[in-house]
Structure 1
């Protein structure tokens, strides 16, 4: 959920949800009048600070109102904001504290924003997230190390027994970015390189985000998301082999490589296409279009690859769908709707078990899908902001990075929660060596976050 930070002023009104407020009708607004002049250019936005659980007090913040506008927040016919409407300050901002009942159901709850003086209305979603107890710490040996600021993704090379970690700091112009080669046992940095300057923007480097390895070619593929392209580096010394042209993979996010077919595939959340590259000739190929079963365009996020089956799986955050790609024929086989998932983000295939795991970043869950029968077998609440998921065949467990909850949840094929670990701020991405070791990178909440920007190795004690 987006967090808007607003400077505190004396005109903010803080209120709680009381029994009296619950009894107020959503239309009881003294002297408000009807069909008065509307706010023709209304564009206010509301959000909730942080993660909200049942029984918490939620801090609702709004901006973009006109000074003096009166606002009431209504949910399921109940006025949440008390008998007296909130009043926007001279900056057009409001803030209110609302008690969430202990019996509140987890999920996205629509809150109607009723505005007068002049009149307007909108709806925002207040998310009540599941709260899982921490458990299962005794099942894992955990080692952590600081690698670089702005960690983003991690990939493991079996050929070289090395980790390759990408990092980029801040928004454009991005000046700090690195590819780090790391020893997976000691978690010590073997080598680091900074990408070259962006030729289209001198003050910015070709910042790196997604990462994958091609052990047959001994290369590392990275996405240069800000420049809409990809680059290829040598695993041995991290020398740049190929920098593709800008916009060859618009807003490229994840990348996977099929070493046998000699193809690299890149997802793009801003496009309904997967971008394809010849990993031997290092040339772009025709992209693969992904149709949607909805009226919106598919927006590809994470990628997971079944190399033996030559099937690539990706999910769409805009349409909440799973797409299955034939990587030999370079075409989409099927697009499946994902009921129960909101803002689909992460995907992992358990090829031997014919199951696919998909996370919902806004629904705080993971669903386990029988891809042969196109059936959702389990729907598991895992924690706020379930971003990415990894299947580890060695332990036969799925690992879910809950970005907003700062936790890593471990489940089995039946959807049983085996562990829920505190793993540092903003868990972001995972990889495995296939031998019971899972690697995770997490980001930081500001410069002084001691639990941020860490590389973790978790070894499951069998």
Structure 2
């Protein structure tokens, strides 16, 4: 989200006009600069960037198919340009583009896609159709629109719990955290916290506990498996996204207003540290091998790499104006921006690889 006073509206409809099906330009390779910070371990990264399309929002990786799924939606309602893009993670070329169904024949408005997560067991992609207040499911194999799941007011992120067969999503406008069955698509659970704005969500695969970053109250909401009584944990100002450490003992929140990442001990319930990362921190991801946290900083136009154990910033990488989202897959990071760069004003994807 942007750093405005109305982050919900901005998040839902950010983007510029897209010329669909644009050709992929040859990606440039650049070295990421490492900031000189005391006690920070210096690492270097190579970055391969490629323009994709206008209106990029989020990216997810399918290990089963070894592809990236990227959402794009352009402009303000009625949104008439939106696609789910299938992208090669090596060449960063678009392999296929799937257009959501029309929801209003009079205006041509689409069931626009924003958040994205992958269910590799069932070979599906789950997306948040934010403006339609719903989730939608697509086939990874064919791109076919399989289902729409209504009743999620301003849906944002999606998190998959393979062990329990659930897809979780935050409903910003009514303070709910909602779970749907990955097989039947039926609603299975709903926990509502009055006054909350649940944004980013994460699931602990071991315990089944669900965590949602509460943008309204700058805190973390924990919903324990089998309980409807949430626990509130501290986070940084403007907490908008959350990711868990591999062992599930620590949560890291992206704090949009503070421009930071918070380190939250899930055992003691304490915020152990807060590390400045860059203006408008919007998304976080964890490298399972190193434990480093990657933070997408929208206003700064960077992706920063943090060592949460030492509390140090170890790299700062230029990833385009309005860097919107970042994920990790097998030690490689992928970030998308809303830079609207070049003559066709397209947004780009960036592959970030550590030089070891």
TM value normalised by structure 2: 0.85
Q: 1:330 to 1:249 in 2, by over 3 A?
A: farther
Partner of 2:286: 391
Partner of 1:300: 198
Partner of 1:85: none
Runs of 4+ in 1 over 6 A off after TM superposition: 135-138
Instruction: Kindly state the Cα deviation for residue 331 of structure 1 after the two structures are TM-superposed.
Output: 3.0
Query: Is residue 150–residue 444 contact of structure 1 (8 Å, CA) maintained in 2?
Result: no
Pick aligned residue for 2:324 from 415, 422, 428: 428
| Counterparts of 1:454 and 1:383, CA distance in 2 | 20
Matches within 5 A, 1:215-230: 215-230=120-135
SS in 2 for 1:285: strand
Note if 1:454 corresponds to 2:351.
Answer: no
Instruction: Kindly state the Cα deviation for residue 308 of structure 1 after the two structures are TM-superposed.
Output: 2.1
Instruction: Kindly state the Cα deviation for residue 461 of structure 1 after the two structures are TM-superposed.
Output: 2.3
SS in 2 for 1:254: strand
Instruction: Kindly state the Cα deviation for residue 138 of structure 1 after the two structures are TM-superposed.
Output: 6.3
Partner of 1:236: 141
SS in 1 for 2:131: helix
Instruction: Kindly state the Cα deviation for residue 286 of structure 1 after the two structures are TM-superposed.
Output: 4.0
Query: Is residue 323–residue 332 contact of structure 1 (8 Å, CA) maintained in 2?
Result: no
Partner of 1:256: 159
Partner of 1:280: 183
SS in 2 for 1:226: helix
| Counterparts of 2:189 and 2:207, CA distance in 1 | 22
Q: 1:200 to 1:336 in 2, by over 3 A?
A: farther
Q: 1:449 to 1:312 in 2, by over 3 A?
A: farther
Matches within 5 A, 1:22-421: 134=35, 139-199=44-104, 202-245=107-150, 248-290=151-193, 297-326=195-224, 328-329=225-226, 331-338=228-235, 341-352=236-247, 354-413=249-308, 414-421=310-317
Instruction: Kindly state the Cα deviation for residue 194 of structure 1 after the two structures are TM-superposed.
Output: 0.8
| Residue ranges of structure 2 left out of the alignment (5+ in a row) | 7-32
| Counterparts of 1:179 and 1:304, CA distance in 2 | 22
Partner of 2:4: 2
SS in 2 for 1:363: coil
| Counterparts of 2:323 and 2:78, CA distance in 1 | 24
| Counterparts of 1:366 and 1:139, CA distance in 2 | 21
Instruction: Kindly state the Cα deviation for residue 305 of structure 1 after the two structures are TM-superposed.
Output: 2.1
Q: Deviation string for 1:164-190 (max 9, x for gaps)?
A: 110001110101100011111111111
Count of aligned positions: 323
Query: Is residue 145–residue 456 contact of structure 1 (8 Å, CA) maintained in 2?
Result: yes
Query: Is residue 137–residue 421 contact of structure 1 (8 Å, CA) maintained in 2?
Result: no
| Counterparts of 2:201 and 2:148, CA distance in 1 | 22
Q: 1:201 to 1:318 in 2, by over 3 A?
A: farther
Instruction: Kindly state the Cα deviation for residue 392 of structure 1 after the two structures are TM-superposed.
Output: 1.4
The range that moved more, 348-357 or 391-400, is: 348-357
| Counterparts of 1:252 and 1:153, CA distance in 2 | 13
**Aligned Cα root-mean-square deviation (Å):** 2.3
Q: 1:310 to 1:241 in 2, by over 3 A?
A: same
Q: 1:287 to 1:3 in 2, by over 3 A?
A: closer
Q: Deviation string for 1:312-361 (max 9, x for gaps)?
A: 211111111111122x42634411233xx221112111041621111221
Instruction: Kindly state the Cα deviation for residue 369 of structure 1 after the two structures are TM-superposed.
Output: 1.3
Query: Is residue 411–residue 418 contact of structure 1 (8 Å, CA) maintained in 2?
Result: yes
Higher relative contact order, chain-length normalized (CA < 8 Å, sep 6+):
2
TM value normalised by structure 1: 0.66
Query: Is residue 168–residue 177 contact of structure 2 (8 Å, CA) maintained in 1?
Result: yes
